[in-house]
């Protein structure tokens, strides 16, 4: 994430700020220039007042990010406005990366990336009538907004034995499934991708069932970034994709704040295509950040180990992203 400043007083402001806390200027974030601008009579996203979206209005009145949301939760239910707002804030951060990487939100074949944020339906007796499953189908991403509650998400993280679980992480994972469809399936690269991630034609439902019944195989971390990545090649791709975004955004933020314990002088994190260069910059940064977190008594900033095989998988994804046809929307 770039370092952003108030256009009026030059004070540093956060990505999600709707106002400069120093000079009280109302702010709009320009997602294509990646700068803060004064609101100053310009048209803001229609969601600005309701969920503090600080992006500008697009064609239909909603911003680039909010326009991709198809379904929002029932706002008559207490807490849902807050949950929706938190998910959208994480989604704008996701969109920052997609725009910076020049990734299309409509595929060459016309498949659009879109989102539904929904809550479980609870009956009068408190029982769940309809459960919302977080997932992806044909470009449509569904997120169960219960994940926006810190206590709920943390309970699930502990129950699943996961080292990391965040809203942004969910979005980065699910969007990975969409980009598999765009960069692999639509591009006719399934056989090539299978050489890196394994054969995705294997029965998905059976694979997930096996994963939940038996857990990951011994030595899974030699070739997978997480235990869930072992469930099926699609999940391996989505997990690896999410890590590509964690790492590139992490390096981008570090560079913009003058943090480079690697001494490699990474210039533009979004332009790196060599996984070795990426790892040389990332590993010392992640190690330093883990040490910082431990010195505050927090959990690790990046509780993962990237093996050489996983680094090569990330390299393959970076190579697909850098196909010339996709680079037209990149931010300069």
Binding residues vs Zn ion (CB under 5 A): 6, 8-9, 11, 20, 22-23, 25, 45, 47, 53, 55, 63, 66, 235, 238
Nearer to Zn ion by Cβ, of 185 and 322: the residue is 185
What is the nearest approach in angstroms of Zn ion to the Cβ of residue 10? 7
CB of 221 to Zn ion, least distance (A): 19
Shortest distance in whole angstroms from residue 261 CB to Zn ion: 31
For the bound state, the minimum distance from the C-beta of residue 164 to Zn ion, rounded and expressed in Å, comes to: 15
**Residue 29: is it exposed, middle or buried by C-beta count within 10 angstroms (0-12/13-18/19+)?**
buried
Q: How many CB atoms lie within 10 A of CB 298?
A: 10
CB nearer to Zn ion: give 241 or 282. 241
Nearer to Zn ion, 198 or 284 (CB): 198
Cβ nearer to Zn ion, comparing 8 with 194 = 8
Which one, of 236, 310, 326, lies nearest residue 275 by Cα? 310
Please give the Cα distance from 255 to 211 (Å, whole number): 38
Cα radius of gyration rounded to whole Å, the chain = 20
Please say which residue, 20 or 118, places its beta carbon nearer to Zn ion.
20
61 or 308: CB nearest Zn ion: 61
Locate 249 and state its tokens.
Answer: 């955004």
State the minimum distance, in angstroms, from the CB of residue 110 to Zn ion: 23
Residue 29 beta carbon to Zn ion: minimum distance, rounded to whole angstroms? 10
What separation in angstroms does the CA of 144 have from each of 87, 135, 139, 151, 176? 10, 9, 16, 14, 17
* Residue in the block written with tokens 């108030």: 6
Residue placing its CB nearer to Zn ion in the complex, 202 or 323? 202
Residue 69 CB, shortest distance to Zn ion, in Å, is 9
Q: In this complex, which beta carbon is closest to Zn ion, that of residue 199 or of residue 276?
A: 199
Taking the complex as a whole, the smallest distance from the CB of residue 52 to Zn ion amounts, in Å, to: 9
Q: Is the Cβ of residue 100 or residue 269 nearer to Zn ion in the bound state? A: 100
- Taking the complex as a whole, the smallest distance from the CB of residue 260 to Zn ion amounts, in Å, to 28
Is 143:68 a contact under the CB 8 Å cutoff?
no
Report the alpha-carbon distance of residue 79 to residue 271 in Å, rounded: 40
């Amino acid at each position: 994430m770039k370092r952003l400043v108030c256009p009026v007083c030059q004070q540093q402001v956060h990505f999600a700020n709707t106002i400069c806390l120093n000079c009280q200027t109302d702010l709009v974030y320009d997602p294509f220039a990646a700068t803060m601008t004064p609101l100053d009579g310009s048209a803001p996203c229609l969601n600005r007042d309701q969920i503090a979206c600080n992006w500008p209005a697009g064609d239909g009145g909603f911003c680039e990010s909010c326009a991709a949301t198809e379904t929002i939760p029932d706002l008559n239910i207490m807490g849902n406005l807050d949950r929706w707002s938190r998910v959208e804030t994480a989604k704008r951060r996701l969109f920052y990366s997609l725009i910076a990487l020049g990734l299309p939100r409509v595929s060459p074949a016309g498949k659009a990336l879109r989102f539904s944020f929904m809550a479980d339906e609870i009956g009068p007796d408190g029982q769940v009538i309809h459960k919302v499953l977080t997932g992806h189908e044909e470009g449509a991403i569904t997120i169960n907004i219960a994940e926006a509650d810190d206590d709920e998400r943390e309970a699930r993280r502990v129950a699943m034995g996961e080292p990391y679980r965040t809203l942004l992480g969910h979005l980065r994972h699910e969007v990975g499934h969409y980009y598999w469809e765009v960069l692999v399936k639509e591009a006719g690269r399934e056989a090539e991708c299978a050489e890196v991630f394994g054969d995705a034609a294997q029965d998905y439902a059976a694979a997930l069932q096996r994963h939940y019944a038996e857990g990951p195989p011994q030595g899974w971390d030699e070739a997978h970034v997480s235990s869930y990545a072992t469930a099926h090649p699609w999940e391996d791709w989505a997990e690896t994709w999410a890590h590509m975004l964690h790492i590139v955004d992490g390096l981008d933020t570090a560079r913009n704040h003058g943090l480079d314990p690697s001494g490699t002088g990474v210039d533009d994190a979004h332009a790196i295509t060599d996984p070795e260069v990426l790892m040389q910059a990332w590993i010392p940064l992640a190690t330093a950040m883990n040490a910082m977190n431990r010195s505050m008594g927090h959990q690790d900033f990046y509780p993962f180990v990237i093996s050489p095989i996983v680094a090569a998988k990330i390299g393959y994804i970076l190579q697909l992203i850098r196909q010339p046809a996709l680079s037209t929307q990149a931010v300069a």
